[in-house]
Structure 1
Amino acid sequence: MTQYLVSMYQPDGIVPPPEVLGPIMEKIGAFNEDLQAAGAWVFGNGLLDPSSATVLKLDGGEILVTDGPYLEGKEHLGGFDILDCPDLDAALVWGRRLAEITGLPIEVRPFAPARG
């Protein structure tokens, strides 16, 4: 089995109203239950707004600490799941389902082999 990072990217800006977001969140809840029942779920969660980020960067031998996202953009990482799947095709089935539920871009990416 290989672990995959399934990342959900969402647009910056206003969060959709409850009548739009509510049904999507219900479907995501069912999706998460199915992941767990299939034994594919390792870990996952949503993230707070990018403005909540703290960036640490080495500069001239010192670590600079700044507020806000590392990269500015029109979209941000909104949440992720780590899945344990037999192969990329199986991970893509889950990713495709999440893309259909959310209507958002979903990135499926394998982890590098464990070291040590």
Structure 2
Amino acid sequence: MADRAALYRRAVSFFADFDILICPTTQVTPLPVDVRWPTEIDGRASETYIDWIMITYVWSILGCPALAVPAGRDRNGMPVSLQIVGSPHSDERLLSFAARIEQEFKHGIFCGG
């Protein structure tokens, strides 16, 4: 609990300077449907499902609202997304920002279209 509290304080400090964090939703492109999770990412082992979704899981345990918006396709045509994260209790601002980003992608502004 002490580690979680310290991480929460760091997140709150970060969001004191930044309204929104935009980051990858996952560390790898979409996997084949029969693969539960990648066993390795960039040379680092993923022993459990939580290991590879930590980039999303961490926001849930900190109480930070987060969502993913479609962000085009990878070089193999598979869909990819961006994760947008806000400070605790900033759900309305986060949803508004995410809607704007989604519209930009829809109109091809971020995808070269």
Higher RCO structure (Cα 8 Å, ≥6 apart): 1
Q: Which of the pair is proportionally richer in strand?
A: 1
Q: Which of the pair is proportionally richer in helix?
A: 2
User: Highest CA radius of gyration, 1 or 2?
Assistant: 1
TM value normalised by structure 2: 0.30
